[in-house]
Chain A
Amino acid sequence: MAKQTSTDTARRLIALLGHFQNEAQIPLATLAEKVGVSPAQLADDLATLSVCGVAPYFPDMMVDVFVEDGIVEVTSPLPAIKGAVRLSSAEAEALSAALAAAGFSADDPLTSKLLAASSAGFDAEGLAHTLRTETAAHDSGVFETIAGAIAASEAVAITYQRDGATAPSTRIIEPHRLIAERGAWYVTAYCRSVGENRTFRVDRIRSAEATGEHFEAASPEAPAAAFTGEGLPLARLRFAAGEAFIEREWSGGRVLESAEDGSTLAEVPFGGTGWIARAVTARLGAVEVLEPSEVREAVRALVRAFGRGF
Chain B
Amino acid sequence: MSDAVERLVNLALFLSDATVPVTRDRVRAEVQGYPAGQDEDAFLRMFERDKDQLRAAGFTILTDEDSRYSVDRDATFASTVDLTPQEIAALRAAGTALLADPSFPFGPDLRLALAKIAAGSDNDGPATAIAAASRLADEDPERQGVAVADLTAAATASKRVTFGYTNSYGSSAPHDVEPYGLFLHDGRWYLVGRDLARDEVRTYTVSRMDAIAVNTAKPATPDFERPTGFDVGSFVRLPFQYGPPAEEFEADFTIDPSAAWRAKRLTAGQGELVADGDGFRWRVSARSVPRLVRFVVENEPGVRLIGPPHACTALRDGLETVANLHG
Interface on A for B, CB 8 Å cutoff? 5-19, 34-36, 45, 48-49, 51-55, 57, 63, 79-88, 90-95, 97-99, 101-102, 104, 110, 113-114, 117-118, 120-121, 128-138, 140, 143-145, 147-148, 150-152, 161, 164-167, 176-183, 203-204, 206, 218, 224-225, 248, 278-285, 288-289, 296, 299-300, 303-307, 309-310
Contact = CB atoms under 8 A, between A and B. Distances in A.
A55 B30 contact: yes
Please give me the 3 A-B residue pairs with the lowest Cβ-Cβ distance, nearest first: A18-B119, A284-B318, A285-B321
A177 B120 contact: no
A94 B113 contact: yes
B184 A134 contact: yes
B65 interface: no
A85 B90 contact: no
Contact of A117 (B31, B78, B321): B78
Interface of B: 1-2, 4-6, 8-10, 12-14, 16-17, 30-32, 53-60, 73, 75-81, 83-87, 89-95, 97-99, 101, 104, 106-120, 125-126, 128, 130-136, 138-139, 152, 155-156, 180-187, 226, 230-233, 236, 258, 261-262, 264-265, 290, 293-294, 297-298, 300-302, 304, 314-319, 321-327
Contact of B56 (A11, A148, A288): A11
B112 A12 contact: yes
A113 to B, nearest CB: 6
A203 B132 CA distance: 16
Contacts of A152: 85, 89, 126
A300 B120 CA distance: 58
Given A6-B8, A15-B112, A82 B16 contact: yes
Contact of A151 (B85, B156, B265, B294): B85
Given A10-B8, A15-B115, A54-B10, A167 B258 contact: yes
B98 to A, nearest CB: 5
B110 A95 contact: yes
Interface centre among A16, A117, A282, A304 (most CB of B within 10 A): A282
A85 B116 contact: yes
A8 B2 CA distance: 11
A39 to B, nearest CB: 15
Contacts, number: 380
Contacts of B56: 7, 11, 88, 90
A192 B175 CA distance: 54
Given A9-B1, A91-B110, A309 B120 contact: no
Interface centre among B80, B131, B181 (most CB of A within 10 A): B131
Interface centre among A53, A82, A121, A148 (most CB of B within 10 A): A148
Contact of A306 (B5, B113, B114, B319): B319
Contacts of B301: 164-166, 305, 309
Given A85-B58, A129-B230, A147-B90, A180 B133 contact: yes
A35 B112 contact: yes
Contacts of A118: 78, 81, 113, 116-117, 120
B206 to A, nearest CB: 13
6 contacts: A7-B56, A80-B14, A85-B78, A88-B56, A94-B106, A281-B322
Q: Which of B139, B262, B324 has the most CB atoms of chain A within a 10 A radius of its CB? A: B262
Contacts of A138: 265
B130 A80 contact: no
A224 to B, nearest CB: 7
A183 B103 CA distance: 12
Contacts of B300: 164, 305-306, 309
Contacts of B316: 310
Contact of B133 (A15, A135, A224): A224
A90 B112 CA distance: 10
A145 B90 CA distance: 8
A307 B316 CA distance: 8
Contact of B73 (A82, A94, A167, A281): A82
B73 to A, nearest CB: 6
A309 B319 CA distance: 12
A97 B86 contact: no
A303 B322 contact: yes
A267 B277 CA distance: 44
B232 A147 contact: no
A300 B324 CA distance: 9
Given A53-B13, A98-B110, A180-B136, A16 B232 contact: no
Given A177-B131, A284-B321, A305-B301, 17 more contacts: A34-B118, A45-B5, A63-B13, A83-B77, A86-B78, A87-B116, A99-B91, A131-B181, A131-B182, A147-B90, A150-B89, A150-B132, A164-B301, A165-B301, A284-B293, A285-B321, A288-B325
B130 A178 contact: yes
Given A10-B5, A10-B53, A91-B113, A178 B132 contact: yes
Contacts of B113: 87, 91-92, 94-95, 118
